[in-house]
């Protein structure tokens, strides 16, 4: 489910949006699109809305149950420990009142609590970076061919996991050429889909999952769980691509290759899952510096 709201939108763009979504009120569009079409549609909105504003909300498999994006708005999404909240600008008088309150000072207990909070906030919580390679783009027809995982603690890589998945679906020639993963490799080195799911579940446990355009990967993970009778293993997610959208405004697009190039990061071997995890990790680190 997608809800897209636009203001000061050029007529041509509104007509284009009507091809994909239903306009239920002025500037309010709803519909249901797959992840790839939704991504391209949002790119088109951001490129053609000029000085207008846009907000998109879509349902997804994360702790909140939805994700929202903004463009040219005064309200901006802010990541808070894996949960995305909206930060709105304070009225001018409220800003002055808060400044005056800060100048008045706090009690000793409050100061100690603030020091403790700042100290604890410096401790980076652990998380897992995930990337997959598949036999195609349709999660209903295609299967996971490879899974890569990195466990990060205190901003350091502490554990790696990679496996090929023997799901009964052969890899088409164009995907063999893209990834270098052959059907012979799957037959020789691959493990069953259920076993792979269980190993990933053990590796992830209850950690925050970080990926790039993570929704597409989660669609495949969800379908794999349904086929093997396993429960959902992903509880909390963070999408590095959405962080890039918020922090980078001088790139042509937000494909992982483009963002990596922005930070001068080598993309060799990107079409293998574990190498892609390393790339996501490096991009995430660079974005955290901004």
Q: What is the C-alpha radius of gyration for the chain, rounded to an integer number of angstroms? A: 22
* 188, 48: one domain: no
User: Taking the chain (290 residues) in consecutive chunks of 10 residues, what is each chunk's mean pLDDT?
Assistant: 90 86 91 86 87 88 79 78 72 55 54 59 76 93 96 92 93 92 94 93 91 92 89 84 92 94 91 95 93
Closest CA to 143 of 211, 205, 225: 225
> Residue 118: inside a domain, yes or no?
no
| Per-residue pLDDT at 238 | 93
| Per-residue pLDDT at 57 | 92
Q: Residue 57: CB partners within 8 Å, gap ≥ 6?
A: 2, 3, 4, 66, 67, 68, 69
| Per-residue pLDDT at 76 | 76
* 156, 281: one domain: yes
* 190, 65: one domain: no
| Per-residue pLDDT at 75 | 80
| Per-residue pLDDT at 91 | 61
Does this model's pTM top 0.85? My answer is no
> Residue 160: inside a domain, yes or no?
yes
> Residue 116: inside a domain, yes or no?
no
Q: What is the domain range of residue 149? A: 127-288
| Per-residue pLDDT at 39 | 85
Q: Residue 207: CB partners within 8 Å, gap ≥ 6?
A: 126, 127, 128, 151, 236
Q: Residue 190: CB partners within 8 Å, gap ≥ 6?
A: 163, 164, 165, 166
Whichever domain contains 168, its CATH number is 3.30.420.10
Count of structural domains within the chain = 2
Query: Tens of pLDDT along 106-155?
Result: 555 665 666 565 555 555 668 999 999 999 999 999 999 999 999 999 88
Token pair listed for 91: 């009225």
């Amino acid at each position: 489910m997608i809800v897209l709201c636009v203001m000061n939108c050029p007529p041509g763009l509104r007509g284009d949006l009507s091809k994909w979504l239903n306009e239920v009120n002025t500037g309010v569009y709803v519909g249901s699109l797959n992840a790839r079409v939704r991504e391209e549609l949002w790119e088109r909105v951001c490129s053609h809305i000029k000085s207008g504003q846009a907000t998109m909300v879509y349902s997804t498999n994360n702790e909140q149950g939805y994700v929202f994006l903004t463009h040219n708005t005064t309200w901006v999404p802010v990541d808070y420990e894996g949960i995305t909240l909206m930060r709105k600008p304070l009225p001018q008088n409220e800003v002055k009142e808060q400044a005056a309150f800060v100048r008045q000072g706090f009690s000793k207990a409050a100061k100690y609590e603030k020091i403790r909070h700042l100290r604890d906030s410096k401790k980076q919580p652990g998380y897992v970076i995930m990337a997959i390679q598949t036999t195609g783009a349709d999660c209903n027809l295609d299967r996971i061919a490879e899974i890569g995982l990195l466990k990060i603690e205190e901003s350091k890589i502490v554990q790696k996991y990679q496996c090929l998945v023997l799901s009964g679906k052969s890899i088409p020639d164009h995907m063999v050429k893209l990834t270098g993963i052959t059907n012979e490799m799957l037959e020789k080195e691959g493990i069953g889909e259920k076993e792979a799911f269980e190993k990933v579940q053990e590796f992830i446990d209850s950690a925050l999952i970080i990926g790039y355009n993570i929704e597409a990967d989660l669609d495949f993970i969800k379908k794999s769980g349904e086929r093997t009778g396993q429960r959902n293993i992903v509880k909390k997610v963070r999408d590095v691509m959405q962080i890039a959208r918020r922090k980078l405004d001088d790139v042509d697009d937000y494909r992982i290759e483009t963002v990596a190039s922005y930070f001068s990061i080598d993309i060799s071997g990107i079409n293998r899952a574990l190498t892609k995890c390393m790339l996501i990790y490096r991009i995430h680190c660079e974005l955290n510096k901004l």
